[in-house]
Structure 1
Amino acid sequence: MLHTPLWKRVLVWAAVVLGLYLAMPNLFYSRVETHNDAASEIEKSGGGATPEQEAALAAWPSLLPSSLVNLGLDLRGGAHLLAEVQLADVYKQRMDSLWPEARDALKAVRDQTGGIKRAQAPNGVLKIAISNPEGMQAALEALQPLASPVVSLTGAGSSNYEISGAGTEITIVLSEAEKAATDTRTMQQSLEIIRRRVDAAGTREPSIQRQGADRILIEVPGIGSAEELKAIIGTTAKLTFNTVVGTTQDAEANPGPGNIVVKDAEREGLYYILDEAPVVSGDNLVDSQPSFDQNGQPAVSFRFDTTGARKFGEYTGAHIGEPFAIMLDNTVISAPTIQSAITGGSGIITGSFTIEESTNLAVLLRAGALPAGMKFLEEKTVGPELGQDSIDAGRAAAVIGLIAVGVFMVASYGLFGVFANIALLINLGLIFGILSLIGGTLTLPGIAGLVLTIGTAVDANVLVYERIREELRQAKSAARAIEQGYERAMSAIVDANVTAMITALVLFYFGSGPVRGFAVTLAIGIVTSVFTALYVTRLLIEIWYNRAQPKTLVV
């Protein structure tokens, strides 16, 4: 008789049951999708469920798993965008924020330089005009501490600013090393913020990747259109706190060097003249939450980091009685008068908000502002009907492959071929179970990986069965032939699949998008195929053999 230790049998069948249990929701895809969508809508609406949503939740037992294999853009449909990050915007912002520091540094040598003012300059360049050319050397020495080492491995030993002067004009530009480091940081920050915003919209498995020096590829399955995706990504929520220079009713008024004209969010025809360089920006925010002001109206509370709190406290302490503009996306949403120094590092933004608007604003502020503008070079919407065609074609290919492999195995190995076919079906269930567990995404290449798995999954069984035939030809008993067949074929099976696994890992590491989808499906299929071929079929054969106890064995 054949005998496998009880603990091993328990582990094998437990793995099979768990895998099929996790894969089960995929057989009821529409119902579980409805359940997940209803849960998402209930969460967004603050917990109140409609009768339709309650019915959808009740349709799927809460004790059962609800994780699904996500469908990629090519199967589910969705939106595709290729965006170019406007890196020059960041250079301009750097110079704008540097101007107040440069102005403060030059105050110490004002007796030598005379008057100082910011001169007109291209984006990414800061030009400062001084009255007395004889004070140029003193001015350059005063500004030199502003330059610091580049925060980048490739820029080690370089300064972030190049400071030069001629006549009465000082020029400050970013060094090439600092530009490269800034580009890298900007792209990383843009990727992270886009990912946060897309995730916050409740989409499943977006693909967000950097392409080249300044481009980002964004593919989001399940979203209605490219315009909808652009709206999610393009909401900047850029918050700054600026000094109020004055007010005007002329939108085309000349604000003077270093100033900007910004409209008021509530009062039509009112414009503020603001210092373009912010005192504190949203970059210093560490938290923002929807709240209510002292009158019970919706508002947004915020909290600065240590640097922002210090700047905010110093400025408000030095400008008591003066207006202070809170600017959101180039619109002044509030311009309160400073009543006292705000040293706690926190505050509140008031305005004509609804509860929903204050909640959305708090979310956007927490996610952060895009560090630079984005120009969309390519946009397209992939219809779900294309994905359904691919799913139908993939399903047909899988069914045809299953039937062909099943017929071949039964014709070649009889009852043992039936056991191999049962293991093959379990193998497919385990693949979907693992994909559901890890939240994997199934793409069209992934379906190709599934079909390939079907074709190659029985290879291990073929090796085992041929080995059993060899043992039987040596006049060994049936039980001994089965044991020897599995033991002696194992090394060849493991070696062959290790090389295939290496290929899958290389594809995953160096590939992207659809290639990775294929690699993931292939890698999971390799593991489950070896497991079902070596352990599941053996237990099936063992159960049959110990019950039937055949006198002769035909494979």
Structure 2
Amino acid sequence: MKILNYRLIIFILSIIFGVVFSIPSFMQTNSGKKISLGLDLQGGLHMLLGVQTDEAVTSKIKTIATSIKYFAEDEDLLIEDLSINGDSITFTILDKDEAPKIETMLEKIGGLEVGLDELTFNVSLTDDEIVRTKDLSVAQAVETIRNRLDQFGLAEPTVIRQGETDIVVQLPGIRSQEDEKAARELISKPANLELMAVDEERADQVYTMSDAQAASYGDIILEDVKNPNTLYLVKEIPILNGEQVIDAKVAFDQSNQPIINFTLNSSGARIFGDFTAKSIGKRLAVVLDGKVYSAPSIRERIGGGSGQISGGFTMIEAGNVAIALRSGALPASVKLLEKRSVGPSLGADSIQASMVALILGFVLVVVFMIVYYKTAGIIANIALITNIFIIVSVMAMFGATLTLPGMAGIVLTVGMAVDANVIITERIRELLRQGLSIQKAIEDGYSNAMRAILDANITTLLVAVILYAYGTGPIKGFAITISIGILASMLTAILGTHGIYEALMPKISKDKNIKKWFGVS
């Protein structure tokens, strides 16, 4: 019989894979992917954030007003006095026959209460839509913050919703003040990009005008990002906002200063091109988070759907803003409610004690398997050790974070892997006692044990999938670890050991010492 077989080849490749890709984690080398420790094992930063959901409602009202303005211009509908009053939009049409077109457009948006008094429209959100908008703003904030932290390079941050408006953020490994400041700025930055038309007719009155007077003209007063004493009078309803941004990258201008180049989607590019074509000679303010970064004059139609933001950025600031724009603007600003730097919840001594207990338990299992099952126990231990290497390697490749629940998952899968080998070996021993040949006993032993092993592993895997789907934070970590462990144990305990027995079959059959091989007389 051939020494090599497909089962053994797959097992050897698994061993090589496990050892090679787990070395960076075990040796903590500077190169290669490795497992990161969670907040409970290495400490870090814990923050509780509150989402200002009322701002999300205001932002949605502003977006609807922008849509109305563009629709009227695109369809050549005559409207005037378009303005935002609190949580409602009012505007007047000059031709009553055009009302059905606007009503149809508003119906497509949905979630609106539309009132028409002669020629004046009053548009506001329904109560259900306000609740849905607030709820969605928190969910979007969770995803946006998680995306930003992932792009920032932080390993496995925990970002979960708590209650109706709060978000818990846990950042393992954040210890220095510089890292903490960068993370906080990245999380809290709204990154609300708006392109707004400058009111050229009243621009020279901006320094003598109050906010109330500006509002009466449908304008707002904004400060320059570099010089707060420089003011701009811009139309309250923006031409475009950050929802149309699909990419943002850091670049450099002619004086080698960092700038941000952004790209708009097809809808934004069309609106931008149409507006610039109609506004040659006028100024367009580039506004980020309520500050004017630049207000260049439009010299010609700007096609292609791209633009740039320049405002004396440092390289780090430009990078953070670009990340924030790419991951999307926060639908509402977030407020820091609580912040604390935490150390490992177990402490170094407790972690060391836990590792000693884990290693001691592992050694006892290995010794028991050798003493009780002889050579079969050694084969089972090879599969067990390989199983651990595979778990660590797969977790390292996916950049997973190891937490206490994750460690529990590893211990549990090690126990399951031992259990599978015990079931297989006991089946083989039973058949040998019945007088079957060694080769027949091994083949039937694996066949008989397969159903019990598969039933146990598949049901556990289904539970792990449910835990991952409905769990949060550490529960997901436990589910991922145990899922990887189950699949690895089925590979090593079933396929791997079977391949070893097939390779050793000529020697086992020739030796015929079943006590030496399986610990049975």
TM > 0.5: yes
Q: SS at the partner of 1:21?
A: helix
Deviation at 1:392, TM superposition (A): 2.7
- Aligned partners of 2:421, 2:304: CA distance in 1, in Å? 70
Structure 1 residue aligned with 2:11: 12
Q: SS at the partner of 2:301?
A: coil
In the superposition, relative to structure 1, how do residues 344 and 532 fare at CA in structure 2: closer, same or farther (>3 Å)? closer
Post-superposition Cα deviations, 1:452-489, rounded to whole Å, max 9, x if no partner, equal 23333222222233223322322344454444433433
- Aligned partners of 1:532, 1:303: CA distance in 2, in Å? 50
Deviation at 1:354, TM superposition (A): 5.0
Return the letter of the residue paired with 2:40.
Answer: D
Post-superposition Cα deviations, 1:273-296, rounded to whole Å, max 9, x if no partner, equal 222211222322333344444666
Structure 2 residue aligned with 1:433: 393
Q: Which of 513, 519, 540 is the equivalent residue of 2:479?
A: 519
In the superposition, relative to structure 1, how do residues 322 and 14 fare at CA in structure 2: closer, same or farther (>3 Å)? closer
Structure 2 residue aligned with 1:230: 184
Q: SS at the partner of 2:514?
A: coil
- Indicate if the aligned counterparts of 2:40 and 2:345 stay in contact, CA closer than 8 A: no
- Indicate if the aligned counterparts of 2:402 and 2:477 stay in contact, CA closer than 8 A: yes
- Aligned partners of 1:530, 1:103: CA distance in 2, in Å? 62
Structure 2 residue aligned with 1:95: 61
- Aligned partners of 2:266, 2:387: CA distance in 1, in Å? 55
Q: Which of 172, 175, 185 is the equivalent residue of 1:221?
A: 172
For residues 173-192 of structure 1, what are the structure 2 equivalents within 5 Å? 173-176=124-127, 178-179=129-130, 182-183=133-134, 186-187=137-138, 189-192=140-143
Structure 1 residue aligned with 2:511: 550
- Indicate if the aligned counterparts of 2:246 and 2:263 stay in contact, CA closer than 8 A: yes
In the superposition, relative to structure 1, how do residues 199 and 141 fare at CA in structure 2: closer, same or farther (>3 Å)? same
- Aligned partners of 1:430, 1:100: CA distance in 2, in Å? 54
For residues 62-461 of structure 1, what are the structure 2 equivalents within 5 Å? 66-99=32-65, 116=81, 118=83, 121-122=85-86, 124-127=87-90, 143-150=102-109, 159-165=110-116, 170-176=121-127, 178-179=129-130, 182-183=133-134, 186-187=137-138, 189-211=140-162, 213-224=164-175, 228-245=182-199, 246-247=203-204, 248-249=206-207, 254-257=212-215, 258-267=218-227, 269-293=229-253, 298-354=258-314, 357-384=317-344, 386=346, 388=348, 391-461=351-421
- After TM superposition, the structure 1 stretch with the greater mean CA deviation from structure 2, 95-104 or 494-503, is 95-104
- After TM superposition, the structure 1 stretch with the greater mean CA deviation from structure 2, 210-219 or 268-277, is 210-219
- Aligned partners of 1:70, 1:431: CA distance in 2, in Å? 14
Deviation at 1:445, TM superposition (A): 0.9
Deviation at 1:91, TM superposition (A): 1.9
In the superposition, relative to structure 1, how do residues 262 and 543 fare at CA in structure 2: closer, same or farther (>3 Å)? same
In the superposition, relative to structure 1, how do residues 94 and 404 fare at CA in structure 2: closer, same or farther (>3 Å)? same
- After TM superposition, the structure 1 stretch with the greater mean CA deviation from structure 2, 272-281 or 171-180, is 171-180
Return the letter of the residue paired with 1:191.
Answer: V
Deviation at 1:213, TM superposition (A): 4.8
In the superposition, relative to structure 1, how do residues 394 and 140 fare at CA in structure 2: closer, same or farther (>3 Å)? farther
- Aligned partners of 1:103, 1:424: CA distance in 2, in Å? 67
Q: SS at the partner of 1:266?
A: coil
Q: SS at the partner of 1:332?
A: strand
Return the letter of the residue paired with 1:28.
Answer: M
Structure 2 residue aligned with 1:44: none
- Aligned partners of 1:28, 1:318: CA distance in 2, in Å? 64
Q: SS at the partner of 2:513?
A: coil
Kindly indicate whether structure 1 or structure 2 has the higher relative contact order, using CA contacts under 8 Å at least 6 residues apart: 2
Post-superposition Cα deviations, 1:209-247, rounded to whole Å, max 9, x if no partner, equal 445554444333223376553222112232222232325
- Indicate if the aligned counterparts of 2:149 and 2:187 stay in contact, CA closer than 8 A: yes
- After TM superposition, the structure 1 stretch with the greater mean CA deviation from structure 2, 277-286 or 210-219, is 210-219
Post-superposition Cα deviations, 1:3-36, rounded to whole Å, max 9, x if no partner, equal 776333222222222222222222211x23xx3x
Q: SS at the partner of 2:226?
A: coil
Q: SS at the partner of 1:242?
A: strand
Deviation at 1:515, TM superposition (A): 1.8
Structure 2 residue aligned with 1:462: 422
Return the letter of the residue paired with 1:243.
Answer: A
How many percent of aligned residue pairs carry the same amino acid? Answer: 35
- Aligned partners of 1:321, 1:550: CA distance in 2, in Å? 97
Deviation at 1:198, TM superposition (A): 0.5
Return the letter of the residue paired with 1:85.
Answer: V
- Indicate if the aligned counterparts of 1:333 and 1:351 stay in contact, CA closer than 8 A: yes
Deviation at 1:109, TM superposition (A): 6.8
- Aligned partners of 2:302, 2:414: CA distance in 1, in Å? 67
- Aligned partners of 2:458, 2:365: CA distance in 1, in Å? 23
Deviation at 1:147, TM superposition (A): 0.9
Q: SS at the partner of 1:458?
A: helix
- Aligned partners of 1:503, 1:273: CA distance in 2, in Å? 59
Return the letter of the residue paired with 2:173.
Answer: G
Q: SS at the partner of 2:198?
A: strand
Deviation at 1:203, TM superposition (A): 0.8
- Aligned partners of 1:543, 1:5: CA distance in 2, in Å? 6
- Indicate if the aligned counterparts of 2:269 and 2:303 stay in contact, CA closer than 8 A: yes
Unaligned residue ranges in structure 1 (runs of 5+): 36-65, 151-158
Q: How many residues align?
A: 503
For residues 527-538 of structure 1, what are the structure 2 equivalents within 5 Å? 527-538=487-498
Q: SS at the partner of 1:342?
A: coil
For residues 501-512 of structure 1, what are the structure 2 equivalents within 5 Å? 501-512=461-472
In the superposition, relative to structure 1, how do residues 255 and 198 fare at CA in structure 2: closer, same or farther (>3 Å)? farther
**CA RMSD of superposed structures (Å):** 3.6
Q: SS at the partner of 1:205?
A: coil
Q: SS at the partner of 1:322?
A: coil
